[in-house]
A and B are shown apart, each in its own frame.
Chain A
Amino acid sequence: MAKMAYRKERVDRGIKARTDDIFALSSFREILYLVLPRLLVILFLLPLPLFLGTYWQKVMLITLVIALLALSWDLLASVGLVSLGQALFFGVGGYLAGFLSTRWGWYPLFTIPAATLAGAVFCTLLLYPALRLRGIYFGLITFALPLLFMRVIEATKILGGTEGLSSLPPLPGTTIELYILLVVALGCVFGFRRMFDTDYGLVLKALRDNDRSVEAGGINVQWYKAQAVFLAALPATFAGAFLTHHYQFVGMPAFALDYSILPLTSVVLGGAGSFAGAVLGACILVPLSEVLRAFGTLRVVIYSVVLVIFVVGLPEGIFHYLQRKYHQFERLVPMEEVSNGARAGFKGY
């Protein structure tokens, strides 16, 4: 053979800590191997608000809000519920916070937690009948509901009608707000990831694979899906309530399509099922669309092209790609080795 052919081989890094479920770490090197990627991200994000100007602080705020919605989307998708309407959770949280503070004059310290919890309960009850629907049918319901709420508010003029609710009590300032959002977002990422490692999370994960088998396993599928919707609604209603107080205003745009589409594209870009990918996606998409403002009308074009390139080129998502690169290395193996082995018994060659 004149030319030597090579093939790529992927090898897992030989560190015991990589095997699932074995937490016995034997050296600092291994602990570092696990902790470093997480630590670097946290150490980068935590001081960031202090170095940003007012404009970029706002961008970071919106980024984190979209990240929370993306986390919410990712959790729903992990149990097999594909949502096309994160705006539902966002708007319900926002309007509840606005309602509580205009009606009873509550402080944000109370309206935000109350709107988060009550909003999540409300959304869960609302979606409960739709939980037995699968695939696109569930998506269509979630797509329709925020639009429906928007028109109901417009037509009945409740909750301020088209004017919305304004002059709500403010939050203490963008820097502190950013830290609150950061802690909540990171808490959600690590909390959700931890949850999916437990047996409870395993049941949720199994729902996506095959809910009939889960039912045959003696588990009330409808009830577990409802729990997943509640958990997924929490970060989203929180984001809605929080942004309402940030703007000191809530109106019909809280149910806008942007809040449904941006989280979805963030997860697609970042990688579904990992939660970290959802945040990563939001951290790329939102600032990118801000940077592209300089291009005027071309902004949407460039934005869309970038999105298409990533989705086609990296369908697994950026996070899963990075994770694979971190945990595995590739090497080139000469094809000769393999073919010789395969032909070992063939003497005449």
Chain B
Amino acid sequence: MEQEPVLKVTDLSKSFGGVKAVDGVSFTLQAGETFGIIGPNGSGKSTLINLITGFVKPDRGRVFFRGREITGIPPYQAVTFGIARSFQMARPFYNLAVFKNLVIPLYSPRAKRLKGGKYGDRDEVAIHLLEEVGFERDSLVPYKLAGTLPHGYLKRLELARCLALEPDLIILDELFSGMSMSEVAGILPLLEKISAEGKTLIMVEHRLKELFRVVKRVIVLNFGRKIAEGTPEEVMGSPEVKEAYLGGEVAEGAGS
């Protein structure tokens, strides 16, 4: 019997004003896959994520998560079903201590159900999660205000926020941007571990070299349309993709 796909997106479309941000995108994801979404700036990658996670309502098309339709559900419900996402611009709670930032997702119905825990316990779980994403053990960093963290740490905090939700599908929106080479190198084994645990991973990235070390399959977006799908090698060999990245006046993003 064919396994039910974790995520099935059919003909998803969204326009802002006259601009077609996402235009008829379809793809299917099997459980445990690592999947990349790439494309030049403004090609609709983030909007696609927002459509899947319910932050933006689609004009057309449908989204299925494990066979259940989730088109246009509110974002918190997507989390309850098991989809966690990070934001391209890290959005921590600046006025809370770093580890307290994780108490909020840990308080969600899903985390309560899967992780249990009462008041006070969540602090320990939070510290543990921070260690997992590479915050130094026994340092004072988790106790500082989140507003004082440098950008690389904020990105890792975003990842920890996703992990706190015990998701089946993790969508990371440009996790590597703003991270140094060594920080990325530190986070790669963790991503491999997450994938080995059977979780499905979607990564939106500009840094292709690092991305291709994690993902097995990618789709390429340009002007909201899917222009290629396949393994990284297949996709980067496609003349259409080369043109999207290098042709035209904007060659940005090709360097990485």
A contact set with B: CB distance below 8 Å: 20-21, 198-200, 202-203, 205-206, 208-210, 212-221
Contact = CB atoms under 8 A, between A and B. Distances in A.
B101 to A, nearest CB: 8
A218 B80 contact: yes
Interface stretch (B106-114, B200-208, B228-236): B106-114
B122 interface: yes
B209 interface: no
Task: State the majority secondary structure of interface residues on A.
Answer: helix
Contacts, number: 84
- Residue in A199, A200, A203, A214 with the greatest tally of chain B CB atoms within 10 Å: A199
Given A198-B119, A212-B55, A217 B95 contact: no
Interface in B92-127: 92-97, 100-101, 103-111, 119, 122-123
Contact of A202 (B94, B100, B110, B164): B100
Given A202-B96, A210-B93, A218 B111 contact: yes
B93 A209 contact: yes
Given A199-B119, A199-B122, A218-B76, A209 B96 contact: yes
Given A212-B91, A216-B75, 4 more contacts: A202-B96, A206-B104, A208-B95, A216-B55
B49 to A, nearest CB: 11
B76 A206 contact: no
A202 B87 contact: no
B145 to A, nearest CB: 11
Contact of B93 (A20, A206, A218, A221): A206
B74 to A, nearest CB: 7
A205 B108 CA distance: 15
Interface string B38-75: 00000000000000010100000000000000000011
A216 B161 contact: yes
- Residue in B76, B91, B161 with the greatest tally of chain A CB atoms within 10 Å: B76
Nearest to B102: A217
A217 B79 contact: yes
A213 B76 CA distance: 10
Nearest to A222: B74
B165 interface: yes
Given A218-B76, A218-B165, A221-B76, A213 B87 contact: yes
Contacts of A221: 76
B93 A213 contact: yes
A202 B103 contact: yes
Given A209-B96, A213-B91, A203 B75 contact: no
Nearest to B165: A218
B85 interface: yes
B161 A209 contact: no
B55 A206 contact: no
B100 A218 contact: no
Nearest to B75: A215
Interface string B160-189: 010011000000000000000000000000
Contact of B108 (A20, A21, A202, A217): A217
Nearest to A21: B123
B76 A220 contact: yes
A216 B93 CA distance: 12
- Residue in B93, B95, B106, B109 with the greatest tally of chain A CB atoms within 10 Å: B93
A161 to B, nearest CB: 43
A215 B111 CA distance: 14
Given A216-B75, A218-B76, A203 B104 contact: yes
Nearest to B86: A216
Contacts of B87: 212-213, 216
A219 B76 contact: yes
Contacts of A218: 76, 79-80, 84, 105, 108-111, 165
Contacts of B94: 209-210
Contact of B96 (A21, A205, A220): A205
Interface string B4-24: 000000000000000000000
A319 B119 CA distance: 28
Nearest to B105: A217
Contacts of A210: 91-94
Given A199-B119, A210-B91, A212-B91, A217 B165 contact: yes
A198 B103 CA distance: 10
Interface string B125-146: 0000000000000000000000
Nearest to A19: B143
